[in-house]
A = this chain, B = another copy of it.
Amino acid sequence: MRENKYFSIYQEWAEKIKAGELKPGEILPSENEMAEKYQTSRETIRKALNLLSQNGFIQKIKGKGSIVLDINKMSLPFSGIISFKEVTASLGIDVKTIVYEFGLIKPDLFLQKQLQTSAKEEIWKVVRARKLNNERVILDKDYFIKKYVPLLTKEICERSIYEYLEGELNLKISFAKKEILVEECTAEDRKYLDLKDFTHIVVVKNFVYLEDATLFQYTESRHRLDKFRFVDFARRGL
């Protein structure tokens, strides 16, 4: 995929740690050794190791070395911007997706604010429920600005929209802002989800930006209380 030297070194060691070839507590070869081994400079090795550190694979300790962390305890840094399909696939869960709404709309005032766009802009609206173990527990409401996503079909929505955007449309997602809070259930929630007698619902609002810092998607992911879980790995300072 990306063929940077430092990135492939990062991947190689990330794989080794994930596969358990290196146990938690073990120390990696020193930066000088690795620079020698890969026939590269130490700064390049350091970029790879910094990635491992940022993603919770290792801890670098001055004067000692880089020690492997317990990624099971870290529970994978799945905090980032990953799509629903990526999460469930990596956990091996069987999921069904039901598309309830699909089409082009003009944004109302709320959407104009969220997407920072005008009333004339055309927007794709997609409403989907996610079924785990035969229960509809997550409601995803996606809004894409048509300017950046010219074509979308119901079939794509039933699979993974992100695979399509990044794979076929070659859109480059750059960063996202997430906001998590709890709201009272709406009539729509009750209509499209198997809510039992829960009165509230966890809402994850997601603003997704492209490489040139333009906002192109707003998503509301509404999770039944008992099925919500969010994990975050963070380094202090920087």
Q: How far is the CB of A201 from chain B (nearest CB, A)?
A: 10
Query: Counting CB contacts under 8 A, is A168 at the interface?
Result: no
Contact with B along A79-97 (1 / 0, CB 8 A): 1110000000000000000
Q: Could you say which residues of chain B place their CB within 8 Å of the CB of A54?
A: 238
Q: Which of A28-36, A68-76, A124-132, A153-161 contacts B (4 or more CB under 8 A)?
A: A68-76
User: Which residue numbers of A lie inside 8 Å of B, CB to CB?
Assistant: 7, 43, 51, 54-56, 59, 61, 67, 69, 73-75, 79-81, 173-182, 198-200, 202, 207, 209, 211-213, 225-226, 228-236, 238
Known: A200-B200, A225-B182, A226-B182. A177 touches B81 (CB 8 A): no
How often does this chain occur in the complex, in copies? 2
Determine the residue in chain B with the shortest Cβ distance to A208: B236
- Contact for A181 among B55, B213, B230, B238, CB less than 8 A: B230
